[in-house]
Structure 1
């Protein structure tokens, strides 16, 4: 699986994914870095078949309205410390990957994983 991590999330999320054997890029790895637009992220996700990892609910709206991105991991934890986010992400990654076998949109909050159709 391939991922693109939005600027609203720390680059450590991409690091975790890469260390687990996935292909992940963070917007900091792109030419426009944190100024990479949502539209550019959507285009990259489609052309490179990447799952968008974001906190930005605008991506959820475009997922439902336009079907873009095709796959989305929405992090809806609110403001938590990066250390807590990394731990939550790492602890739930296996289940998130399993959910993507049947869902195209997965939401992770502080306590639950929710698959959206």
Structure 2
């Protein structure tokens, strides 16, 4: 059962009970657009658990991604508030990436999505 005492930012009254199907669909669509990208999920899963990784460590952990795409997705995740980028003033420059608190809050959501996907009913074979 949905909680009706939670404030919902995309509801005109701020109450979950007043959310229309169109509002809910738009909210979920906006959330999914934050995660849209070939490598974003892999980057997030590498950083879950409070991990702080350097660019080169992410590159090694996801060998199929190009430098260009890794840089692009990290910039988008940083722009959207899911990842922080820390530049250390040293030679050679060192850059660390970590999840923000909001990014860490995504972990249980993705775990629930994985659990949901694992419970998919078996599909009948085509005739």
TM-score by length of structure 2 reads 0.24
Higher helix share: 2
Task: Flag the structure with larger Rg.
Answer: 2
Higher strand share: 1
TM-score by length of structure 1 reads 0.26
